[in-house]
Amino acid sequence: MLKRLRSAHPMLYCLVAEVLFLGMLFVASLLSLLLILLVVRDIDAVDDYMLTFMQEAVGVLVAWRFLARTGKSGLLRRRGSGFFNGLLVGLYPIALISYNAYNTLLFGRPEGDMLPAWHVVWFLIGMTSVGVAEEFLFRGVIAQTLLEHFGTSRAGVWKACLLSGLYFGAAHLTNLTGSAPLGVLMQCVFAASLGTLLAAVYFRTGNIWVTVFIHAAMDITSMLIGGLYGTQTVADSISTYDITMLTSIAVYLIPTAFLLRKKKLSEVELYFGRDIK
């Protein structure tokens, strides 16, 4: 059934995948809280990032299930350009991540001690699990499906990148339940632009683990102070976003255009041409 839906109605298939993915994250969050209350009976003693990991682990399984049921789980083993060569393709976002981490640690550290090591470990695991789950779904399931639908021509690749970015941005509307509306709207714009760039990196490298690494590193960096010192939650961080986030449109779409310049599109054909019917 999923195979037929993916082939006949790819954009509907992507929407179904996204809705089920987000729905299962919500269910997993509720069940995790219930399990903890039954076993530990003290929700305050449980690290928030451990809950994040439990929730995102379900997301990984949901995304993998979509890949497996449509015969696409092999892309998780696809080498493409290779991981380290792929990091060179994704050098621009990696440079941004490195700069932001350096700037945050140098100028943004609060007074006081860091959280205990086990809190920091759960922070790193939780943020990494977000990167894995979302890349499996938004690049592995959605961007891959759209590329196969639109083809590897320049117009087709751009359509797949932009539309998958919009799916990714829209998914962040779920944060309206805990953060300020303006902050969530700006996060959606930021995420849509970033999703477009990550799709371009994925298409240029043919290796989903490159975008998993970039995505996880970006999530860790964005919450670095909160994760290390416990001074800010994810919901609080999103609420601080303002209209300056609109600059992300240029920050991410300009390098996307560079990655998808005409002479490099042959690499997309090399890695994905056999997937196009």
3-state secondary structure of 21: helix
pLDDT of residue 41: 66
Distance of alpha carbon 135 from alpha carbon 198, whole angstroms: 9
> Per-residue pLDDT for 95 more than 90?
yes
pLDDT of residue 69: 95
Average pLDDT of the residues of the chain = 92
Q: How confident is the model at residue 276 (pLDDT cuts 50, 70, 90)?
A: confident
- Could you tell me the pTM of the whole model? 0.94
Distance of alpha carbon 204 from alpha carbon 214, whole angstroms: 14
Is the C-alpha dihedral spanning 150, 152, 158, 162 positive or negative?
positive
Strands, DSSP E only, in 112-268?
Answer: none
- The more confidently predicted of residues 43 and 106 is 106
Lowest mean pLDDT among 69-73, 110-114, 203-207: 110-114
Q: How confident is the model at residue 182 (pLDDT cuts 50, 70, 90)?
A: very high
Distance of alpha carbon 193 from alpha carbon 252, whole angstroms: 6
Angle at the Cα of 60 from the Cα atoms of 166 and 240, rounded to 5 degrees: 50
Distance of alpha carbon 6 from alpha carbon 23, whole angstroms: 19
Alpha-carbon distance values, 241 to 96, 162, 194, 234, 245 (Å)? 18, 22, 15, 11, 7
Average pLDDT over residues 243-248: 89
What phi-psi label fits residue 230: left (phi over 0), alpha (psi between -120 and 50 degrees) or beta?
Answer: left
pLDDT of 107-138, one tens digit each?
A: 878 877 888 898 999 999 999 999 999 999 99
Q: How confident is the model at residue 277 (pLDDT cuts 50, 70, 90)?
A: low
pLDDT of residue 9: 95
pLDDT of residue 147: 97
pLDDT of residue 44: 64
pLDDT of residue 79: 94
> Per-residue pLDDT for 46 more than 80?
no
Lowest mean pLDDT among 32-41, 95-104, 158-167: 32-41
> Per-residue pLDDT for 52 more than 70?
yes
Lowest mean pLDDT among 67-81, 193-207, 233-247, 250-264: 233-247
Average pLDDT over residues 35-61: 83
pLDDT of residue 43: 64
> Per-residue pLDDT for 4 more than 90?
yes
Distance of alpha carbon 87 from alpha carbon 209, whole angstroms: 10
> Per-residue pLDDT for 231 more than 80?
yes
> Per-residue pLDDT for 37 more than 70?
yes
> Per-residue pLDDT for 271 more than 70?
yes
Distance of alpha carbon 249 from alpha carbon 194, whole angstroms: 8
